[in-house]
Amino acid sequence: MRSVAREELHQLIRQFEAHLSWAQRQGTVGVPRAAAAAATTPAAPAPSAARGLTLAVVREELGECTRCKLSSGRTHIVFGVGNPKAALVFVGEAPGYEEDRQGEPFVGAAGQLLDKMIAAMGLQRRDVYIANVVKCLRYNTCVQLENGSWERIGRLVAQRYGGQVMSVARDGAIVARRVIGWYRSPLADRAVYRMSYASSAIRGGKRAITWLTGDHEVLTRRGWVRADGLNPADEIAMGQGLSRVAREVAIGSLLGDGGIRRSSAMLAFVHGRDQAEYVRLKARALAELAPIVDEAEVTNQLEGRRYLVSRCRTRSTRALRVLRRRFYGPHGKQIPRVIVLTPRIAAIWFLDDGYTKIKSPNLGLSEIAAHSFSAEDIRFLIERLKGDLDVEAYTRESSPGRIHFGSEASRRLSEIVAPYCPPCLRYKLHPDPERRITFDPSSYDPDQRETLFDQVIIERVENFDGMDETFFCIDVEDTHNFVTSGGVVHNCRPPGNRNPEPDEVAACEPFLRKQLEALAPRLIVALGKFAAQTLARTDAPISALRGRWHSYQGIRLMPTFHPAFLLRSPDRKRDAWHDLQLVMAEMKRLGLGPKEAP
């Protein structure tokens, strides 16, 4: 937070204190900060009951608070929880997703770590009290719904849409998940970015984009990265993809007889009528692309005769646009250098364009036609055959567009291909594996779709003034991310997805002060920068504040790192434990221990 903003906050707080005449209700108020910090044993505040102030009174006064903009996006007011007689109070910064959902502070992953920290002190959650200091995407960003259609996020928030949207699970699977939260937040001083990816849809000459603030996290190959931390070399999750089976069949077909049209990202391939079974198997593997299989009569231009073929074509998808961009260059087909040859990919490639010359009942020599590719691409494919499948291959000067295999390599290649080879194509295999290894039809069964990644296109919007400065977000059950037209983005964490703003702290702090007055603790642990800076009235960083005693209204105050920070930086847990040991020593010196709650 900027120092100017914090000075404005402090002025608001001082005005509020003067208005309520705090000095009349709490004898320790008004002690100069330096003098309070110097006191080794502060006087215990007067019992809250004597002042007529209880937690119930403070909560009733708070009501259904609408004093700041956070009220428009919350689910519950997160007031506080614990022992009202506690001598030790923990004060955090702001509720996160789970806290907002359950109405209780520190119940998520950070809360679990806080429970462990409290237990390490020889206490339990019921022995202390826990409170907080503080009780995005643009409207027209499109979010993909479960049925594949798109809707503007602003409209989803306005309607509190409770259906399912598309999301990405931990393993990369594309799944549908329910929307469980809807949020609005002001732009404030955050930067705005336009994000897309290289193969995104282009309509009317314009690329599909996502508008988001710089602090919004985006899923990349290197994990979740803030928008303002993306670089041109990053590949982001599209939220569009293919199942592993469909992707491998598509890649194998592109190595072989298949092609993707330039005019539309549609995969198509044609085989002879006697291979119709094979066409149907590939179509089954590509079921998520809604393939159409039919027969047609075509003319052989060289022989001038007509014959029947079996053909398949899929619908156009963003996922196929990624494959088209990778497999096609200025001069036609090319081999992307990121390709990995799996057994299924190699099998489809061989069954499309390969065959085996049978020399004897136990001897065969295999070849794969590769005329569509350059000599450099063919050399790369030979390297991948050896590196990925341990199959030796070579070329001949007499047939530069073909990849050849020796006797043992042919046997090894057919062993890999045989489980994927239907009866109508068994004649292409080496005789020995053809007899020993049977066809497995389940190898063409479709499975769960997985997201593809594509090169990010990210641009900071320099002149955003005058545009709508309200940004929107939704929360998605379980996965906590959702698919937009420009990539996969993380939920905001209401309202802890960003630092609390001065007006939000100012609106909540009077109630925090009354909470602490009603509790009358002897010691406070401030968790994180904003709690520490707010209570200690300073702009010093948490690294400078932690590890030494400060004072809040005459109460001993120990700042330490927030549990959420410790989850991200486990190497700092040692420092946090040092701080808690100081608290434990002070509790022992003051003769403080757990008190029974009424």
DSSP for 106-145?
S-SHHHHHHHHHHHHTT--GGGSEEEES---EETT-EEEB
- Find out whether 430 and 367 touch, Cβ atoms under 8 Å: no
Of 491 and 7, which is predicted with more confidence?
491
One-letter amino acid for residue 141 of the chain: T
Phi, psi of 451 (to 5 degrees): -70, 145
**pTM score, two decimals?**
0.59
- Find out whether 305 and 299 touch, Cβ atoms under 8 Å: yes
Of 204 and 9, which is predicted with more confidence?
204
Q: Is the pLDDT of residue 25 over 70?
A: no
Domains and CATH numbers, the chain: 3-134+498-590 (3.40.470.10), 137-230+464-490 (2.170.16.10), 242-449 (3.10.28.10)
pLDDT of residue 365: 95
Q: Is the pLDDT of residue 341 over 80?
A: yes
Q: Which two tokens stand for residue 184?
A: 């609005």
Q: Is the pLDDT of residue 22 over 50?
A: no
* C-alpha atoms less than 13 angstroms from C-alpha of 124 in its C-beta half-sphere: 4
Taking residues 45-52, report their average pLDDT: 46
Q: Is the pLDDT of residue 206 over 90?
A: no
Of 201 and 280, which is predicted with more confidence?
280
pLDDT of residue 91: 85
Q: Is the pLDDT of residue 140 over 80?
A: yes
**Burial of residue 397, with CB atoms counted within 10 A of its CB: 0-12 exposed, 13-18 middle, 19 or more buried:** exposed
For 528-561, the pLDDT digits (tens) are 887 888 888 888 888 899 999 999 888 999 999 9
Q: Which of 162, 147, 152 is nearest to 210 (CA)?
A: 152
The rounded mean pLDDT for the chain is: 81
Taking residues 497-508, report their average pLDDT: 52
> DSSP H helical segments within 437-501, as ranges?
none
pLDDT of residue 369: 96
Q: Annotate 165-210 with DSSP letters as a single string.
A: EEEE-TTSBEEEEEEEEEEEEE-TT--EEEEEETT--EETTEE--E
Percent of the chain beyond pLDDT 70?
76
Name 271's Cβ contacts closer than 8 Å, sequence gap at least 6: 257, 278, 279, 309, 310, 311, 352
Least confident of 73-87, 340-354, 369-383, 408-422: 73-87
Please state, in angstroms and rounded to a whole number, the distance separating the CA atoms of residues 172 and 452: 9
Of 123 and 348, which is predicted with more confidence?
348
pLDDT of residue 464: 65
- Element holding 361 (H helix, E strand): none
Reported as a pLDDT band with limits 50, 70 and 90, residue 331 is: confident
> DSSP H helical segments within 427-467, as ranges?
431-436
Reported as a pLDDT band with limits 50, 70 and 90, residue 57 is: low
pLDDT of residue 285: 97
pLDDT of residue 261: 85
Q: Please tell me the total number of residues recorded for the chain in this structure.
A: 598
* C-alpha atoms less than 13 angstroms from C-alpha of 543 in its C-beta half-sphere: 2
Of 468 and 586, which is predicted with more confidence?
586
One-letter amino acid for residue 218 of the chain: V
